[in-house]
Amino acid sequence: MKFTTTLLAAALAVLPAVRAHGTVSLFVANGKTYSAPDAAEGNPFKKTPTPVRQLELLEPITDLNSNDMICGRGTPPKASEVASIAAGSEFSFQMRGGSGAPWPHDKGPVMFYLAQCPGSADECDQSNLKWFKIDEKGLRGQNSWYQEDLQQGKAVSGTIPSDLKSGDYLLRIEILAIHNAMRVGGAETSVSCTQLHVTGGGSAVPSASDLVTFPGAYKATDPGILVDIWNNFTSYDFPGPAVFKASGSGSAPAPSSSATTKPTASAPINAAPAPTSNKPSSTSVAPSPTKTTCKRSARHRRARALMNHAREFSPSH
């Protein structure tokens, strides 16, 4: 008990110095791989040949009312390319941490949103868009998250709805790190936007009830954002709207909308996806053996996870 308390205190003490997160490193659509730019980090933004918009900073977002919740830190500028992708096909992405280190986190969901652009995606203004959720990846077993694949240098994938109306969209990729989410403001969000042109689609569009805006879609006390995964944790409730189910109907909203998807598996790029399930809005974890054992092992897991996170960004590394 004393060892665990000491270890946890040491981990929490160094956390403020290791908050740097990361950014998308690769994006794959229609079999084409696009490299993504590093965060500007005080340097001028660059129009590199990529559909992935460049972040200003690597630091995570903890203020859910910040405009950084739209497309990431610092109002990322428009990118120079638009990735073409067929409706019904899969896309995937990988992450990197600061200074080329691995993505540091392994606990929390990955969510995908789309917003329809009124014109070309490379001219799409992120500030007035409405978003709908097309996929979400959470738990895939007891204490195992799809986000672990990102930490291991693998890809996580999603699918463009097969009946989605063709056109230009922004894809919003959101990663929520919840290792410290047992307190308000402890969840850490990383967001990135990629410019897409969807081909071969149908007529599906979301209704007004499917659409949300960022900021505004989440509250700091929402289940899934305020959550303690270290004690008596049995299931996870995703924040935000339900994954949209395409039906090919619905009134066409203002240009900033579209359709459905079924969660697809997380996998390395060019690897066969692993099985997953469609939403429920929560995913479950098998209960631990006993309450005493659960509490003790939870303290150890949390302490070691925080120490591992701190170690990856320590000066010696």
Q: What is the pLDDT of residues 43-80, one digit of tens each?
A: 888 778 999 999 999 999 999 999 999 999 998 999 99
Stretch among 150-154, 170-174, 312-316 having the lowest mean pLDDT: 312-316
Quick one: pLDDT band at residue 20, thresholds 50, 70, 90?
Answer: low
Instruction: Indicate if the pLDDT at residue 165 is higher than 60.
Output: yes
Residue 304: its pLDDT value, please?
54
Q: What is the pLDDT of residues 238-257, one digit of tens each?
A: 999 999 987 654 444 444 43
Task: Please choose, from the candidates 196, 186, 43, the residue with its C-alpha nearest in 3D space to the C-alpha of residue 117.
Answer: 196
Q: Which domains does the chain have, with CATH numbers?
A: 22-292 (2.70.50.70)
Q: What is the pLDDT of residues 119-131, one digit of tens each?
A: 999 999 999 999 9
What residues form DSSP beta bridges with 26? 35, 94
Mean pLDDT of 17-21: 54
Quick one: pLDDT band at residue 268, thresholds 50, 70, 90?
Answer: very low
The amino acid that residue 189 corresponds to is T
Mean pLDDT of 154-172: 97
Q: Exposed e or buried b for every residue in 72-92, given b needs 16+ CB within 10 A? A: bbbebebbebbbebebbebbb
Q: What is the pLDDT of residues 187-223, one digit of tens each?
A: 999 999 999 999 999 999 999 999 999 999 999 999 9
Stretch among 14-18, 45-49, 76-80, 230-234 having the lowest mean pLDDT: 14-18
The structure's pTM equals: 0.78
Give every CB contact of residue 16 below 8 A, 6+ residues apart in sequence. Answer: none
**Higher pLDDT residue, 246 or 271?**
246
The whole-angstrom separation of Cα 317 and Cα 298 is 27
Instruction: Indicate if the pLDDT at residue 260 is higher than 90.
Output: no
Task: Please choose, from the candidates 250, 249, 237, the residue with its C-alpha nearest in 3D space to the C-alpha of residue 279.
Answer: 237
Instruction: Indicate if the pLDDT at residue 302 is higher than 70.
Output: no
The whole-angstrom separation of Cα 286 and Cα 288 is 7
Quick one: pLDDT band at residue 134, thresholds 50, 70, 90?
Answer: very high
Report the 10 Å Cβ neighbour count for 255.
Answer: 18
**Higher pLDDT residue, 261 or 145?**
145
Mean pLDDT across the chain: 81
Paired tokens of 258: 């579209």
Q: 283, 138 in Cβ contact below 8 A?
A: yes
